[in-house]
Amino acid sequence: MEIYGIDHVELYVGDARQAAFYLGHAFGLQIHGQGGPETGLPDQRSLLLREDAVQLVLTSGLAADHPAAAYVQRHGDGVAIVGIEVGDATAAYGELVARGARGLQEPVRSEAGETTVVIAEVAGFGDVIHRLVERHGPRHEFLPGRIHITEPTCGPDEKLFSEIDHLAICVPSGELEPTAKFYEDVFGFPRIFEEYIEVAGQGMDSKVVQSPSKHVTFTLIEPDASRRPGQINDFLSWHAGAGVQHIALRTSDIVEAVGTLAGRGVNFLGTPSTYYDALPDRVGEVDTPIEDLRELGILVDRDHWGQLLQIFTESMHVRRTLFLEIIERRGAMTFGSGNIKALYEAKERELAGADL
């Protein structure tokens, strides 16, 4: 089974146009297509946002019994479908079901001109679905016959992001090992990293699974039930179960990206100024002025392969669930475990001050 990467992420949201307006004007992700009853997608409105290899689909239900409406009622706005590009969707679907995945939609073929797209769906974690996507021909089309491709909407023209680096997924206590084993045994994703982290009386376990191509990466996290409840518990409560906590967007210049986003009104989790005083001793020389990192609140970590620069947005949602990470890899292959304490402390301050 050939797995190439994350094809797209579909979010179920209360108002697709409102969400697209924010992501377009703040993050530069512009509308490239739309679908609805007129394109064969009954009782829903879907908008396709693109930048480079980042593809987000925003879907709102137009009827109370549509799956998107039920999802939003239970979870709030969030990731409902993770599209994974494969070499052969029919073969992948059969293989995954044979290995124990629950099949949801058998392969369906769509064509437009020289473009052919085959999709199938299997159940993932919680209420999240994995859509297997096989593509042939020009990639301008997204889903022929269902999403009508349009000229990009006017908006910021900076190209800040290149791809989805990884998804961070929270699962209830006791479900981490079974979830990791599911991706290992069914999808063939080996575990590449795991650790236990304790911060201020809170604890969490994490395991990272990754496709052999290295382009699909899931960071799985569960709270330690024996420790004081914290933000992972809050996510699971407010989201009503397992779900994607954040989407990490890869950039080649995090200083430019964060400066641009901050100028458009994006709020980031704050980092104590003292964090930067010890930074050179902890990670070595950084090829970016420390004062630039301090001013923007960008975090830095190091592993055996290089450095990682990252920052996390505040959640855009009333439930304080889903948020975004901006990440630049300078050789590093891990996920900033050295910054977890700073992230936890910043997130705790955000939640303590939130008007819920």
Q: How do residues 230-260 score in pLDDT, each as one tens digit?
A: 889 999 999 999 999 999 999 999 999 999 9
- What's the burial of 168, exposed, middle or buried (CB within 10 Å: 0-12/13-18/19+)? buried
Q: Provide the whole-model pTM.
A: 0.93
Mean pLDDT value across residues 62-87? 98
Q: Look at residue 348 in the predicted model and tell me its pLDDT.
A: 65
Look at residue 355 and tell me whether its pLDDT is greater than 60: no
Looking at CATH, the fold of the domain delimited by 163-353 is given as: 2,3-Dihydroxybiphenyl 1,2-Dioxygenase; domain 1 (3.10.180)
The domain limits of the chain are 3-149, 163-353
The span from the CA of 46 to the CA of 6, in Å, is 19
In 52-151 the beta strands, taken as DSSP E runs, fall at 54-61, 78-86, 103-112, 115-123, 129-136, 148-149
Number of Cβ atoms within 10 Å of the Cβ of 58 = 26
**3-149 and 163-353 have identical folds:** yes
Q: Look at residue 356 in the predicted model and tell me its pLDDT.
A: 45
Residue 123 backbone phi and psi in degrees, to 5 = -75, 145
Q: Between the CA atoms of 98, 99, 103 and 107, what dihedral angle is there, to the nearest 10 degrees?
A: -60
The span from the CA of 79 to the CA of 73, in Å, is 13
Residue predicted with more confidence, 352 or 44: 44
Are 315 and 345 spatial neighbours (Cβ–Cβ below 8 Å)? Answer: no
Q: What order of strands is seen across the sheet that includes strand 307-312? A: 191-199, 202-210, 217-223, 163-170, 243-250, 323-330, 307-312, 299-302
Q: Helices 231-239 and 340-353 meet at what angle, rounded to 10?
A: 60
Number of Cβ atoms within 10 Å of the Cβ of 275 = 19
User: Has 166 been labeled as part of a binding site?
Assistant: yes
Looking at CATH, the fold of the domain delimited by 3-149 is given as: 2,3-Dihydroxybiphenyl 1,2-Dioxygenase; domain 1 (3.10.180)
Mean pLDDT value across residues 218-229? 95
> For 15-53, what is each residue's pLDDT tens digit?
999 999 999 999 999 999 999 999 999 999 999 999 999
Look at residue 264 and tell me whether its pLDDT is greater than 50: yes
- Nearest in space to 147 (alpha carbons), one of 49, 27, 13, 67: 49
The span from the CA of 31 to the CA of 58, in Å, is 10
Q: Which helix (H) or strand (E) holds 7?
A: strand 3-12
- Nearest in space to 282 (alpha carbons), one of 299, 304, 310, 301: 301
Facing residues of 289 across strands? none
Look at residue 224 and tell me whether its pLDDT is greater than 80: yes
Q: Which two tokens stand for residue 312?
A: 């996390």
- Nearest in space to 3 (alpha carbons), one of 265, 159, 213: 213
- Using alpha carbons, list the distances in angstroms from residue 70 to 65, 80, 135, 153, 353: 7, 11, 30, 29, 30
The b/e string for 206-215 (b: 16+ C-beta within 10 A; e otherwise) is bbbbbbeeeb
Residue 193 backbone phi and psi in degrees, to 5 = -165, 145
- Looking at the chain, the whole-number percentage of residues with pLDDT higher than 70 is 94
The span from the CA of 325 to the CA of 313, in Å, is 6
Look at residue 336 and tell me whether its pLDDT is greater than 80: no
